[in-house]
A and B are shown apart, each in its own frame.
Chain A
Amino acid sequence: MSMPRLVLFVPLLIVVGLGAFLYQRLDDDPYARDSALLSRDFPTFTLSTLEDPDARVSESLLKGQVSLVNVWGEWCPTCKHEMPQLLDLADRGVRMIGVDYKDTRDKGRTFLEEFGDPFEINIFDPEGTLGFDLGVYGAPETFLVDAQGVIRYHHTGYIRPEDVREIILPTLERITAPAAGGSDGGSNGSSGSGSDGEEETT
């Protein structure tokens, strides 16, 4: 007789359990979600650069060394606040590639003059086609791409100063390490991979 009585508490337990589960998810960032691009090749593209309308760059730009790709635009207020973190990363020798997303050349150039230019090169994506293939739904967004041109990390939104220390730099270290030990894609094969090559273009 006592067993069936205890069974009556099962729904209560289920409700409490479900409540606890849902409550704990209440604090989740509704914009945070898995990127569909992780572990996939950087999408193919052929675009000009912000610096030179006649230049043509493609996904081969991302091969040979670890790169940080930052999608920005003059119209994006958060990108201005993010610039100090990007300049800091560039100072640390990270190879920075910009994607000027849905912008005009004039505005993009003015933006970099005003807020600093941490980028080795800026891919000019006025229609947002590359952004679309990257699954970008706002700016800023940041990708870490390994030396094989595979996307290893996708950051949607603002990079806080603490994100640089806690996420970006450790991830860069992690994806740089195996490439430095193993294959070396024909580039300068000196010791500190990532820290060299910073003087090439400024």
Chain B
Amino acid sequence: MSRLKHSLASVAVPLVQALVVLLFLSWLAAGKAQAAIEMHQFNNPVLQTRYDSLTAALRCPKCQNQAIGDSDSPIAGDMRQNVADLLNDGRSDSEIQNFMVDRFGEYVLYNPRLDGRTWLLWGGPAVLILLGLGGVALIVRARRRASVRALDPDEQARVSALLKAHGRPRNGKESS
């Protein structure tokens, strides 16, 4: 038993050590990756906020799925620089977005605009919800109608016959 414990420890201790080293290295690497992304610093807090939100909402055209504020690819750096320059020029957010779309296409917008090609994207969820609500409404109405329908003469006759054969119903009272 103690031998088992001993051999477990001899495996576990180097394993933990390796994990710690790995964690440390990955932390170093993460720090380095962060350092490679050069974010513009504004003195004006409003511009800084707009810069941060714009660089988070523009997609890097070279990368699979990264915002330009999140990518160290050269083109993302160029785009960040252009966003900063345009902000300092006093351009509006939508002007800056148009500037990027003019060059790199709608692809760079993480929130695609509503137009001929994207109406299905924007309208689809609403249409699906409406369809679902309509379906539920139809089912509820069908059930309600079925439950309140009066008995026709044949059914009435059968009910009477059954009642006569088995005696009066118990009026829902269990005990009497």
Contact = CB atoms under 8 A, between A and B. Distances in A.
A137 B62 contact: yes
11 contacts: A33-B107, A36-B101, A36-B104, A102-B74, A132-B78, A132-B82, A135-B103, A135-B104, A135-B105, A136-B75, A137-B60
Contacts of A137: 60-62, 75, 104
A33 B82 contact: no
A138 B103 contact: no
B147 interface: no
A138 B75 contact: yes
- Classify the secondary structure of B's interface with A: helix
Indicate the member of B103, B105, B106 with the most A CB atoms within 10 Å: B103
Interface in B69-108: 74-75, 78, 82, 101-107
Nearest to A127: B78
Interface in A29-46: 30, 33-37
A37 B82 CA distance: 18
A120 to B, nearest CB: 25
B103 A133 contact: yes
B62 A138 contact: yes
A104 to B, nearest CB: 15
Interface residues of B, number: 15
B145 to A, nearest CB: 14
A35 B103 CA distance: 8
Nearest to A136: B75
A64 interface: no
A118 B66 CA distance: 36
A128 interface: yes
A141 to B, nearest CB: 11
Contacts, number: 32
A134 interface: yes
Interface in A93-108: 102
A8 to B, nearest CB: 11
B160 interface: no
B61 A35 contact: no
B140 to A, nearest CB: 14
Contacts of B61: 135, 137
Contacts of A35: 105
A136 B104 CA distance: 8
A36 B64 contact: no
Contacts of B104: 36, 135, 137
A35 B2 CA distance: 70
B62 A134 contact: no
B103 A36 contact: yes
Given A137-B61, A137-B62, A138-B62, A132 B103 contact: yes
Contacts of A136: 75
A149 B144 CA distance: 70
